[in-house]
Structure 1
């Protein structure tokens, strides 16, 4: 068990890895429409990419996108020449990685701008209630399809929490990624992996709820009961671990791997101590895929990195900066 007096091993999700067939559509969507900037671009060297992701003997082209220079909550684009499966948008009842979330200053305006550009949201803006800690919290959100099957969830917050992009540029329309979402069979195991006794993130809340509004936004059968555990670090992005009661659909986890899959395919996570983080992974039921490798690339900078999977099979690249 990690010493509760020590600093957390991770600060949040540094970036969501998005597999792309080509960069241009994503740079148009995230850059032109959402105001993200290129923080770094180049290649992940073949030896590093193969050790981390099993991509074989070729360099992997990559672009790191940031909102207002935020060092976390980034979008990490990785080009996938030969994807293991066709692009497809995950459903909230699929197992694996689902959406990537960001705050929108005016969600109705964001929806209207997308409509004017010919982008139809899969779920238009809607408000629903979630019972948290004995009170009902109102949430306003909508879901927009991004290229290559990525689902972007826009949230208009009643009270914005911990967004570096809005702190740096209060007038911008959208923030960095505020959370990433996974749908897993074993919430308790995932919470133990990421939580205070694992990698050190805080469990903000863990609730089971049912909401007609959420059923509509998430395209769920009426009356679906959803468990949601929300984990937060010192910086965005946070993690939403979900599990719906009842029948599930496809299991996407075997084909959601960075460098080999299109769309939302993994997370990159910076740690202050890679060795201790890997020990925590093993102790909490995760799996370490291989020995750490040294790298200097657009996604991790100069760092030592290792590929791991969580107890529910979510792909994560842990790295410790050498800068």
Structure 2
């Protein structure tokens, strides 16, 4: 019998925003997400959770077809900060991924609506055992420094949004991506010996299609580890193996302070045990356990953990 993981997947990606409206135009107006919850976290509660520099924080939760996971959470942060989009090879949070029915149509429609793509969609291959799996995807530059990766899957894995509404063009977030210096440590933290996600694959490969789509130098070797639980979103951990490239953005990706992709939200049935396992696997408890905000935790207990590579995760106990 497979043990129950401490976390079943990524409930949500946190995006820092100065004004929610351009993001509502993009995620709701273009991608079909809906506002499922709105609220305010008072400065004292927000700062206790996420640290200095966090003020009163307006929260807007976006869901696809009502999915309770794979969500987008907009956190209104102080004005200022970088709106530069991270590159695939930059350390820290990189893209948020979702499936699309027709990526070429999405490219045309979103480009016509004024959303820039880093490159047009491209197809590349990743070796899984003795098979080559074909992936077609493209990077779209969403508002205020967030990279959205649209994936047209050859064989889609289950998603809550497409199960609820098979006619939808877009799903909930199917995965979130971080690029880290130490893949083994990150896999150890999230994987079977850590928080219990399954390691679906861990491969190193080169692909001209990936280099074209992700704007990587020719001959780049990319390591990609894919971790999954019973719910979306899953986790992609990446590293450029054979060269030094990119910059370290982790210091400018603070939840509740900085713009763009700046944190993940997960839930667990046993917060104390999850925090103990996190420290055993090289993580650091940054705050908590403490009573959390009503809007994101229902007032239950929460904590913030930093993974061995400095990826910040807000952990809530219980709920959906």
TM range (shorter): over 0.9
Q: Displacement, 1:82? A: 4.1
Runs of 4+, deviation exceeding 3 Å = 55-58
Relative to structure 1, the CA distance from residue 172 to residue 214 in structure 2 (aligned partners, 3 Å threshold; closer, same or farther) is same
Structure 1 length normalisation: TM-score? 0.96
**Counterparts of 2:6 and 2:220, CA distance in 1:** 35
Structure 1 counterpart SS, 2:235: strand
Instruction: Find out whether 1:153 has 2:149 as its counterpart.
Output: yes
Aligned equivalents of 1:64, 1:322: Cα separation in 2: 15
Q: In the alignment, is residue 67 of structure 1 matched against residue 64 of structure 2?
A: yes
- 1:319 aligns with 316
Asked if residue 15 in structure 1 is aligned to residue 16 in structure 2, the reply is: no
What CA distance in whole angstroms lies between the structure 2 residues aligned with 1:55 and 1:137? 44
Partner of 2:138 in structure 1? 142
Residues 199 and 227 in structure 2, CA contact (< 8 A), matched pair in contact too: yes
Change (3 A) 1:35 1:322: closer
Alpha-carbon shift at residue 321 of structure 1 (Å): 2.6
Measure the CA separation in 1 of the matches of 2:38 and 2:297: 11
Q: Is the 8 A contact 2:200 2:227 kept in 1?
A: yes
1:240-292 Cα shifts (integer Å, max 9, x gaps):
00000211221011111110110000100111111111001100000001221
- CA distance 1:278–1:60, change in 2 (3 Å): same
Residue 146 and residue 92 in structure 1: after superposition, are their counterparts in 2 closer, same or farther (change >3 A)?
same
Q: Give the paired residue count.
A: 319
RMSD: 1.4
CA distance in 2 between counterparts of 1:63 and 1:309 reads 24
1:232 to 228, 231, 239: 228
SS in 1 for 2:188: helix
CA distance in 2, matches of 1:102, 1:147: 16
Paired residue for 1:174?
170
Instruction: Tell me, yes or no, if structure 1 residue 183 matches structure 2 residue 174.
Output: no
Identify the residue that residue 277 of structure 2 maps to in structure 1. Answer: 280
For 1:230 and 1:52, the matched residues in 2 are separated by 28
Closer, same or farther in 2 for the Cα pair 1:34/1:55, shift >3 Å?
Answer: farther
Query: Contact 1:48 / 1:293 at 8 angstroms: preserved in 2?
Result: no
Give the superposition deviation at 1:299: 2.8
| Structure 2 Cα separation of the partners of residues 87 and 300 of structure 1 | 28
> 1:91 aligns to what SS in structure 2?
coil
